[in-house]
Amino acid sequence: MITVAIDGPAGVGKSSVSKALANEFGLAYLDTGAMYRAVTWWCLNQGVDFSNQQAIIDAVLDFCTNHLDIAVDPTNPRVLSDDVDISDAIRSQDVSSSVSKVSSIPQVRQILIDAQRRLIGREAEPSAFSQGRGVVAEGRDITTVVAPTADVRVLLTAREEVRQARRSGQSKMKTAHVGKDDVAARDKADSKVTSFLEAAEGVTTVDNSEMNFKQTLEAFERMVENVLEEKGELDDYDNGQGTDDGFLDGPDLSGDIDNLDDYELSDEDRELLAAGDTTDSESGAPGRKAVGVIAVVGRPNVGKSTLVNRILGRRAAVVEDTPGVTRDRVSYEAEWAGTDFLVVDTGGWEADVEGIDSAIASQAQIAVGLSDAVILVVDGQVGLTDTDERIVKMLRAAGKPVTVAVNKVDKGDQEYLSADFWSLGMGEPFGISAMHGRGVGDLLDDALGKLKKAEKTSGLLKDTNLRRIALVGRPNVGKSSLLNQLAHEDRSVVNDEAGTTRDPVDEEISLGGKQWLFIDTAGIKRRLHKVSGADYYSSLRTQAALERSELALVLFDVSHPIAEQDLRVMSQAVDAGRAVVLIFNKWDLLDDFGRERIERLYATEFERVTWAQRINLSALTGWHTNRIVEAMETALTSWDKRIPTGKLNTFLGKIQQAHPHPLRGGKQPRILFATQPSTRPPRFVIFATGFLDHGYRRYIERSLREEFGFEGTPVQISVHVREKKKNR
């Protein structure tokens, strides 16, 4: 058995060297620093009072005795709590900011030192991971306190400015990700409880300030080989888990960017490398604030949506100079004079209508019932109509405070147009021009004054932490029907007429014990440049809704032949980088022959999205809609997934060994290093010595999916070809 102990300050590459060295000789790998993070995570998880040292000590002792386990495989080192992998959890910001409070307690350090000694001693057993070969242990106090009798004891160090550059992910450059004094501050904090800047007696110092990863690893390999040769055991380690093909000498199994020191890198490359080990964080959402709701109602084409856009200060609602453009009731968050409220745009209200016009009027009436106050919009140029008077009767029955907006009073000398509307008995009519903004401020002052006197506030500002789901597809595939089925109410207008939905409709829905924000969109047209008017702006808003969503439920009407237009909509969601779930709607209408036809089509036309889950359902009856939640959660988990850089490079090293890239022009491109700079969707950047064929990239993507999952999300892979630095 051989024990290798490696100590040193932050930023010298202890972990990368230790893992590669252990893998080379078939040894176990022990990261003692991870143990300090693990006990800190446990204290946070148990709600321990960090001002109470005894409480911390008791919690750490309990964790190390009854819950902690360490997996010492150098290719996949893990920290386990009750058999649950917490390797990623212990890297959180909360743990990082609290670990020094725990590690500075002498009794805690003694508990962990005892645990580390037991783990090192365990590797002497034939049944251990290394089968008695030994262990490489790295971390504070390893060479002097934990394993002072180790066969190889090394202090790995480098100059502070070099370590700082490595910690920030940029060689000899500063970045915004890590502050200039980060390493110095960490050294200062750690030096209060341990000494690691100078080697103790009998400890060898290796300064790798001017060494790349390969040179550093070779120095350690020589020290280990010398010890094994003295023991007469060198031959026993020739069949270790390492290989002799030179692959371990490269960066593929190390996850250390020092291996790129010999290659030309751009500033963009260095930014990508710096981002590779960061953790994506979601900004915390503010509390959900209760606010009043104002419904904007009126007969068709009086300018309701124009007024809503004026209140919002942007073109959110679709507007066209024809009746019946707005069909659903659509809520928007608004603010006026420091007051937050919801404004609801509605379709034109008409009496004694049938079909889609009746559904639109019903949605407007529902909006009034759910509101706290109402703005009734009338047309000053047309004057008072019978429909206006019937709307007033409906509003009186609802019992909501009403402000009358006489629209299209564009000039001061047209104020007389408002006089006729006093007869409605709704108080002072306000002459406004929604198009130009004239008089809208006075209108809002009056409406909000009545809103503040309302008995209740019916609205809530949206929870920005909700997962955002877009329902997309070509017109009339059943998007609104599915939204209504999930919401268990008629939330959107549903009609056999294609293109019923015009404005994206946001609806918070409770599914699977969680709240979700669903966005019902207008059907995406086949040729956007050939669409005009309301349909054109609806399509633009649908694209914008897709961009602000996180996951797209792509609907197909399988009762009709799936056309190129359907596949284009699907590709639009994939190209936008959204997580995807495929919904084959109206499946209950198919006979056996129709289902066989769809299966054959799926096998040939959906090759691009074989990674997406598919659900066959009926939005109208609700059949199989209960399967949607699990599919969405799986897809979003994959969309958020990040693979640690070390694990990623180890994996790519293995698949490259198993299936090297074909020779091209007498040369064989080789992967140097890979990193995942971002998630949502997962994006991987591979640094290579030459261009990687598209077929080989597909092989890499397929292998990544087989190893790590990524079900339901696109995976983006880009290759940066880099050449070696020229001697100057």
pLDDT in tens, 271-321: 677 666 554 544 334 445 678 889 899 988 888 888 988 998 876 654 444
Report the alpha-carbon distance of residue 644 to residue 652 in Å, rounded.
12
**pLDDT at residue 638 tops 50:** yes
pLDDT band at 543; cut points 50, 70, 90: low
- pLDDT at position 84 over 80: yes
pLDDT greater than 50 at residue 501: no
d(CA 716, CA 697): 10
Q: How far apart are CA 434 and CA 305, in angstroms?
A: 9
Among 398, 272, 304, 202, smallest CA distance to 718 is for: 272
pLDDT attached to residue 685: 93
Strand, helix or coil at 459?
Answer: strand
Phi, psi of 412 (to 5 degrees): -60, -35
CB 348 within 8 A of CB 300: yes
Whole-number Cα distances in Å, 226 to 22, 135, 222, 229, 232: 16, 16, 6, 5, 10
Averaging pLDDT over each range in 221-225, 273-277, 326-330, which range is the top one?
221-225
pLDDT tier at 719 (50, 70, 90 boundaries)?
Answer: very high
DSSP 674-694: EEEEETTTTEEEEEESSPPPH
How far apart CA 94 and CA 653 sit, in angstroms, is 32
Longest dimension (CA), the chain: 109
Q: How confident is the model at residue 520 (pLDDT cuts 50, 70, 90)?
A: confident
Percent share of the chain, pLDDT over 90: 34
Considering only 241-255, 344-358, 643-657, which range has the smallest mean pLDDT? 241-255
Q: Which amino acid is at 57?
A: I
Task: Please list, in sequence order, all residues whose beta carbon lies within 8 angstroms of the beta carbon of residue 226, skipping any fewer than 6 positions away.
Answer: none
pLDDT value of position 705: 95
Higher pLDDT, 290 or 719: 719
Q: What's the start-to-end Cα distance of the chain, in Å?
A: 46
CB 628 within 8 A of CB 469: no
Question: What is the per-residue pLDDT for 300?
Answer: 86
Contact 174, 180 (CB under 8 A): yes
pLDDT for position 400:
87
Question: Among 138-147, 289-298, 515-524, 644-653, whose mean pLDDT is lowest?
Answer: 515-524
| Pairwise CA distance, residues 396 & 401, whole Å | 9
| Segment 602-632, tens digit of pLDDT | 999 998 899 999 999 999 999 999 999 999 9
How far apart CA 701 and CA 696 sit, in angstroms, is 9
Of 672, 575, 691, give the one whose Cα is nearest residue 718.
691
- CA–CA distance, 555 with 471 (Å, rounded to integer): 7
- Cβ–Cβ under 8 Å, residues 369 and 407: no
Q: Are 426 and 447 in contact (CB under 8 A)?
A: no
Axis crossing angle, helix 106-122 with helix 93-103, rounded to the nearest 10:
100
Please state which of the ranges 373-382, 415-424, 451-460, 674-683 shows the lowest mean pLDDT: 451-460
Q: Are 516 and 463 in contact (CB under 8 A)?
A: no
User: What residue has token string 């559904």?
Assistant: 359
Are 370 and 331 spatial neighbours (Cβ–Cβ below 8 Å)? no
pLDDT at 352: 59
Mean pLDDT of 154-169: 74
**Structure tokens given for 353:** 């209508």
The residue written with tokens 């980060």 in the block is 182
Rounded to whole angstroms, the Cα distance separating 686 from 676 reads 9
Specify the pairing of strand 459-460 against strand 290-297. antiparallel
List the structure tokens of 699. 């092989």
Q: What is the DSSP string of 185-251?
A: HHHHHHTTT---SSPPTTPEEEE-TT--HHHHHHHHHHHHHHHHHHHT-GGGGTTSS--SSSGGGSS
Name the nearest CA neighbour of 471 among 587, 320, 260, 632: 632
